[in-house]
Structure formats: C-alpha cells, structure tokens
Amino acid sequence: MAGALLEQAEALLDKGIHPLKIADGFDLACKKALQTLDSISEVFPIENREMLIQSAITALGSKVVNRCERQLAEIAVDAVLSVADLEKKDVDFELIKVEAKVGGQLEDTCLVKGVVIDKTMSHPQMPKELKDVKIAILTCPFEPPKPKTKHKLDITSAEDFQKLRQYEKETFETMVKQVKDSGATLAICQWGFDDEANHLLHAHNLPAVRWVGGPEIELIAIATNARIVPRFAELTPQKLGTAGLVREMTFGTAKDRMLCIEQCPNHRAVTIFIRGGNKMIIDEAKRSINDALCVVRNLIKDNRVVYGGGAAEICCSLAVAKEADKIEGVEQYAFRAFADALECIPMALAENSGLSAIDAVTDLKAKQIQLQNPRLGVDCVFAGTNGIRVFTIIFFLS
C-alpha cells in the first residue's frame, strides 16, 4: 500500500503538482477512506466462541503449524477469555504464561488452568504430587542471617565448629518451624538453600521448590491468591495461597521434569504448554500462538471488523473516487491517485490466485456498485462466490 501511494505520488510530481498539494490531497482522501471503513464495519460477536476461533484460525492458516490450526486457535481463544475483562474490554497478557518443552508432538500442546514452571521439588524423595495444597511464597533465603558489615569468623577448634554447625541447624529448624506453624504444606522460595536446609525440609515433611524466578513468583501468587512474604517472621496463615493439585510432570523416558500448579482459586492465570519435536518447531509455535493471541485480544478490545479479500479496499477506492468529483482544485488529482493506490491490494490478491488482476478488480467494482454490497472480495479459492463473509476473512477496524 505504501509503495503504491509513492508510485502514484511520483506520477503526480511528474505532472508538476506541488508536493504539499499531493500530501494535502492524500490526507483528505485518507480521512474519507476512514469514514467509509467506519460506515461498512460490523460489530463482531465476541461472546461467540466459534467466531473467535475462526478468526484465530485465519491468523494461523499461513504458519508452519497450520496442521494444528484448529487446536492452537482453541487454546488461544480459551487463554484470552480466561484472563479478559469483557466489561472493560481489557486483556492482560502478563497473566498468560507460555512455556515449552522439546519432545512429543505439536498435537500435545495444551492449555493449563494454572501455572507451569521449569522447576522440580528440591529433594528427590519429596512427594511428586500434592493435593489440597497450602502454599507459602517466600522471597527470603533459607540461610542464617548475615552481618551487613564485612566480617571474618575464626574457628580455632572442633568445639567452635560444632557450635557454628549447631547454630546453623537451629536457625534452619526455626525457619522450617515457622513455615510449618503457618499451616503451609509447600514452600516456594525465590532463593536457594543448601543441602542441610534441604534435608531438614524433607525430614519435617515440608516439600519445597527453590530458585523460582520473580515473574513466576508473581504469577503463582496471583493464581493461588497468596501473599509474597519477604521475612519468615511475617508468615501467617492468611498469607498462604491454595491449589487443588501440585504435581511434577514427566516426559516419557526423558529426565526432564516440570512443576504444574493446577486447580487454583483464581482462574485468570493460565499457561500455554507447547510441545514439539525440535526447538525450531517450538519457536515457530510460540510465534504463531502469539499472533493468534493478539488477534483475539484485538477483537475483544475493539470488536468492529471489516471484511478482507480486497472487499474493504475496493469499497474505499470507490468512495474516494466518487468524492474526488466534488473536490475543486489540484487535490482532485491526489484523490484519484489515492483511489488507484487502494486497488493494489485486491489486484495483488487476484494476480497471486492466477486470475487476471484488471478483469477481477473491474468486475468486483461493478458488482459492489450494482449490488451495494461492500463485502464482495476476490474469490481466491475459486468457490464460485465473491461473498467474503462465507470465509470469515475479517480485519480489525482499529
């Protein structure tokens, strides 16, 4: 479109028309085209899940992953509807986590109503599945407090070493006791802890997960309705989150495992878990799903649409050309040039479909004028109809 406008502008310059006149004419023609788009736009029914899926399928049709376009479109729609505020027409993508693991097939991709993190239980003998879990989310490390000044500790005897070890053990036990006393059955820590603390957690039957990233901590807190606790002394039962199921996911014979937190009280946090045979497929699937998510998000934010297939462009071209007859002055040339530039898109569609571009576009212009139907576009699939509504090919008005 931009290239076609520049070509038309170059032709006008060759005729000796001043660049400012061309720019003013293009600006007025653009406003007329936008008015036309407003008049032919239709309200998209966002409460109709099937229509949203069809829109997402349109975005996925040209991707490498199009063999699973229906499944991926359903996942994208369900993910957006889970986090969307339909009253405010707002979608928070921060609540949609996209996680991937090489292996399996693209068809194994799924939507998890919860949070999936690339972590495991800190101790191999901790249970791999927990039900009705109360979760403590900690941003303080499981370790003895350190002085804020530079210090040096001299140990000159075995007794001194035993005292230090005993102090560390008592400190760890106090921390574990504080977590247990709060009623927590799972501790998720942003920092790590050493083997001794890990052993004590296992001995006190307190499963734990360490080194969980900041964004994941926030997402888990949102999903489980937990409060992030910066100090052990501040941990109370009211600050715990809940989840119906926490489990480690395994992947066949591979040693990789991931932690899945499901059945959360807040359903507005979801995870799209992508599988694929290799990293290239997974990366492509991530990009494709992101496109589908954006399509659904844009429809929820502004559900006015126009039809594709060159239908909207031809309608605008006819409206701008008609308006040109009412313009006095040199700007009339710019109007007609703008109308001609709008035809480049339906011409390209017709040419790429093996049709005669000029014949197809002139025929469509005649039909749109005769039938007063702005939804007639290029029949790229030779279905015998120019009605684009049949194919659900739409574009956002925004």
Provide the percentage of residues in the chain whose pLDDT is more than 90.
25
Q: What is the largest CA-CA distance in the chain?
A: 102
- Identify whether residues 245 and 333 lie together within a single domain: no
Per-residue pLDDT band for 238 (boundaries 50, 70, 90) equals very high
pLDDT one-digit tens code per residue, 32-42: 989 988 888 88
- Where does a domain end: 218, 239, 266? 266
The token duo for 366 is 């005649």
**pLDDT value at 143 more than 80:** no
97 φ, ψ to 5°? -100, 130
Structure tokens at 357: 């571009």
Q: Report the CATH number that the domain containing residue 176 is assigned in CATH.
A: 3.50.7.10
pLDDT at residue 254 in the model:
66
Range of 234's domain?
114-144+157-266
Q: In what order do the strands lie in the sheet with 96-102?
A: 96-102, 270-276, 110-112
What pLDDT shows up at residue 150?
72
Across the chain, mean pLDDT equals: 86
Q: Is 229 a domain residue?
A: yes
Q: How far apart are CA 306 and CA 41, in angstroms?
A: 5
Distance of alpha carbon 65 from alpha carbon 109, whole angstroms = 12
Give the CATH number, domain containing residue 367. Answer: 1.10.560.10
| Domain annotation covers residue 63 | no
SS3 content of the chain, % helix, strand, coil (to 5): 50, 20, 30
Going from the C-alpha of 181 to that of each of 123, 194, 301, the distances in angstroms are 21, 22, 46
Residues 329 and 239 in one domain: no
249 assigned to some structural domain: yes
- Are 162 and 218 in a shared domain? yes
233 and 326 share one domain? no
Is residue 26 one of the residues assigned to a domain?
Answer: yes
Helix, strand or coil for residue 141?
coil
User: What was the pLDDT predicted at 390?
Assistant: 55
134 and 257 part of one domain? yes
Q: What is the DSSP letter of 142?
A: B
pLDDT digits (tens, 9 = 90+) for 56-97: 888 887 788 888 889 999 999 999 999 988 888 888 888 999
- 196 domain-assigned: yes
The residue from 213, 235, 266 where one domain ends is 266
What confidence score (pLDDT) does residue 293 get?
Answer: 93
Lowest mean pLDDT among 64-73, 237-246, 261-270, 374-383: 374-383
Residue at which a domain ends, from 247, 266, 285: 266
pLDDT tens-digit series, residues 280-329: 999 999 999 999 999 899 888 888 888 777 888 888 888 888 888 888 88
pTM score, two decimals? 0.77
